[in-house]
């Protein structure tokens, strides 16, 4: 697999503890995203092809398994080593052990390239995991070896060969379109100019000025900007609360990190996403944004 393809092919899932309950966080894989997830001290993580559902299956283990996975959630420490498992002939095997998060971030890409299209699972090595390793491995093999995982991988691998660059682009477009759909759609610059009855010759200038002043955010789409609809009222004016939120979620020149933040469950919102809370209590979303240690894309 070419290096460029890895960034847009895999989905990354992280299991974190929230009020004694496991929570799954998902995002498109990148080294930066992996490092960001590690800041939240996850008990386990997975990397898999889109549609494989292994993040959800891993979450199920933490919800129902009282022997290994629930104790792992409650007892793991940020200083615990990482066990990295990868598939070999449809069976999960221990591939490597990493003592530090930084080692995991550096090396996981090379493991993924060696195991093209295979699922990777990363587990914190607590004392209980050491003692019950065989039980843990058997449970993980049931998850990764399920028919859904194999069928998804087979469908992806069986696709006709096309240049990696084209495949990357198509997969990335699909992921970004899904994000925009989950956000409720977008306006373009002309939509906003028409609603404001702007008489400027350049229809994109109004939106660009508002974006530059931090009143709204857009996501870069090729040569254009698209503006998620949820940040506008019925007259297509940006809600005043957006300025405070965007100030906390800066910088992000392309806009996609901000959009992802609105779509991900947030601990301070009881596991709901900022977008789910936005329509009923925007003050809570402002408070959630104020807790962020933001390191968006520059």
Could you report the per-residue pLDDT of 168-179, keeping only the tens digit for each? Answer: 567 677 888 888
Residues 112 and 228 in one domain: no
Which of 132, 163, 194 terminates a domain? The answer is: 163
In sign, the C-alpha dihedral spanning 92, 93, 98, 99 is: positive
Whether a cis peptide bond, with omega within 30° of 0, leads into 251 is: yes
Range 33-37, long-range pairs (CB < 8 A, 24+ positions): 34/104, 34/105, 34/108, 35/101, 35/105, 36/295, 37/12
Residues 108 and 248 in one domain: no
Which is it for strands 120-124 and 44-48: parallel, antiparallel or unpaired?
Answer: antiparallel
**Measured torsion, CA atoms of residues 180, 185, 190, 195, in degrees rounded to the nearest 10:** -150
Q: Is residue 179 domain-resident?
A: no
Which secondary structure element, helix H or strand E, spans residue 42, and what is its range?
none
Write down the pLDDT at residue 118: 75
Write down the pLDDT at residue 89: 66
Spatial distance between the Cα atoms of 212 and 275, rounded to a whole number of angstroms:
22
- Where residue 139 falls among pLDDT bands split at 50, 70, 90? confident
Percentage of the chain beyond pLDDT 90 is 38
Count of domains in the chain?
2
Mean pLDDT on 226-253: 94
Spatial distance between the Cα atoms of 47 and 50, rounded to a whole number of angstroms:
9
Spatial distance between the Cα atoms of 25 and 11, rounded to a whole number of angstroms:
10
Q: Is residue 117 domain-resident?
A: yes
Q: Average pLDDT of the chain?
A: 82
What is the separation, in whole angstroms, between the first and last Cα of the chain?
28
Residues 151 and 195 in one domain: no
Distances (CA, A) of 151 to 91, 148, 210, 246: 14, 5, 46, 41
Q: Which domain holds residue 194?
A: 186-290
3-state class of 271 per DSSP?
coil
Partners of 45 in beta bridges: 14, 122
pLDDT digits (tens, 9 = 90+) for 38-95: 999 999 999 887 766 677 788 888 888 888 999 999 999 999 999 999 887 667 888 8
Residues 46 and 91 in one domain: yes
Q: Is residue 114 domain-resident?
A: yes
pLDDT digits (tens, 9 = 90+) for 163-222: 444 555 676 778 888 889 889 999 999 999 888 876 555 668 889 999 999 999 999 888
Q: Which residues contact residue 160 at a Cβ distance below 8 angstroms, ignoring those fewer than 6 apart?
A: none
Spatial distance between the Cα atoms of 198 and 16, rounded to a whole number of angstroms:
47
Mean pLDDT on 1-10: 50
Q: Which of 90-104, 132-146, 230-244, 263-277 has the highest mean pLDDT?
A: 230-244
Residues 23 and 139 in one domain: yes
**Chain mean position to CA 75:** 24
Q: Is residue 174 domain-resident?
A: no
């Amino acid at each position: 697999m070419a290096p460029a393809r890895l960034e847009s092919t895999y989905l990354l899932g992280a299991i974190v503890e929230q009020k004694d309950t496991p929570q799954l966080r998902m995002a498109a894989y990148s080294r930066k995203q992996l490092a960001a997830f590690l800041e939240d001290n996850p008990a386990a993580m997975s990397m898999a092809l889109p549609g494989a559902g292994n993040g959800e299956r891993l979450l199920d283990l933490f919800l129902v398994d009282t022997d290994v996975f629930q104790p792992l959630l409650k007892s793991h420490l940020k200083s615990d080593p990482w066990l990295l498992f990868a598939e070999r002939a449809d069976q999960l095997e221990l591939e490597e052990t990493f003592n530090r998060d930084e080692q995991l971030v550096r090396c996981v890409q090379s493991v993924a390239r060696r195991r093209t299209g295979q699922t990777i699972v990363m587990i914190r090595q607590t004392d209980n995991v050491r003692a019950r390793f065989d039980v843990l491995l058997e449970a993980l093999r049931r998850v990764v070896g399920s028919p859904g995982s194999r069928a998804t991988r087979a469908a992806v691998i069986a696709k006709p060969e096309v240049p990696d660059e084209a495949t990357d682009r198509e997969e990335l477009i699909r992921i970004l379109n899904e994000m925009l759909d989950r956000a409720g759609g977008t306006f373009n610059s002309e939509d906003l100019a028409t609603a404001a009855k702007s008489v400027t010759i350049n229809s994109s200038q109004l939106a660009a000025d508002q974006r530059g002043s931090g009143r709204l955010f857009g996501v870069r789409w090729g040569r254009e900007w698209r503006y998620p609809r949820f940040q506008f009222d019925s007259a297509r004016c940006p809600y005043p609360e957006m300025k405070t939120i965007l100030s906390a979620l800066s910088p992000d020149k392309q806009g996609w990190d901000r959009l992802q933040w609105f779509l991900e469950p947030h601990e301070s919102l009881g596991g709901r996403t900022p977008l789910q809370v936005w329509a009923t209590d925007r003050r809570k979303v402002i408070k959630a944004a104020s807790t962020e240690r933001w390191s968006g894309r520059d």
